[in-house]
Amino acid sequence: MKKLVLLVSVFTLIFFSIYTSYINTNTTAAYKDYSINRVLYWGSRGDDVKQVQYRLLKWGYYTGRVDGIYGAGTYRAVRRFQRKNGLKIDGVVGPETAAALGLNFKSAASRGVTRDDNVYLLARAVHGEARGEPYIGKVAVAAVILNRVEHPSFPNTIASVIYQPGAFTAVSDGQINLTPDKDSIRAARDAINGWDPSYGSLYYWNPATATSRWIWSRKVIVKIGKHWFGK
């Protein structure tokens, strides 16, 4: 009897170990990593930002304090540097701009852009773009940004998509810098976890305020609140 109990216990332990390994492997495979590259943008803080500020100050692009806070002055200085050096002018220090500055953030990958960083930045974009919209509309806006990250026609990080010149009104008018509310943070997290009420859309617009003729050529997939979503 004791041998039977022992065999059952061993079998149960082996089964549990295999099952746990299977779950962990599939969970990891299903999780979308939006933190491939180390990217600095408006709101970033730390020693990496200080390095950028120091280089820009040394070369005459930046006139503020080397305080490790990526604010308006750093953003404008980065854009001036990018314009002068033939880089994409987006105010974001991604791999190309970092290389032009003579900086290498690869060694910081383990402490680079985290999932929480991405959730918060995405929440800021949602708050700036979709305040007052129904919750599902907030998630849909976040999903559009993530859909762009995965599409070959757009940059491949959340920060680069959000700060792509002219892409989002919230960046142009500064609303990206408002503190996101709990719904915006939850919506960003839901989108990163895989919920896409936009059904793969790459664009959204408010038909009552849209001024671009081109946007009306997009195929409408779904309408949520005041926004239309399409490809």
Q: pLDDT tens digit string along 123-132?
A: 999 999 999 9
User: What mean pLDDT is predicted for residues 139-154?
Assistant: 94
Q: Are 112 and 35 in contact (CB under 8 A)?
A: yes
Structural domains present in the chain: 47-111 (1.10.101.10), 115-230 (1.10.10.2520)
Q: Quote the pTM value.
A: 0.61
Q: Is 159 helix (H, G, I), strand (E, B) or coil?
A: helix
Please give the Cα distance from 99 to 29 (Å, whole number).
31
Please give the Cα distance from 194 to 197 (Å, whole number).
10
Joined tokens for residue 100: 């032009």
DSSP 60: T
CB atoms within 10 A of CB 55: 19
Across-strand partners of 16?
none
Q: pLDDT tens digit string along 196-214?
A: 999 999 999 999 988 888 8
Give which of 228, 191, 192 is closest to 208, Cα–Cα: 228
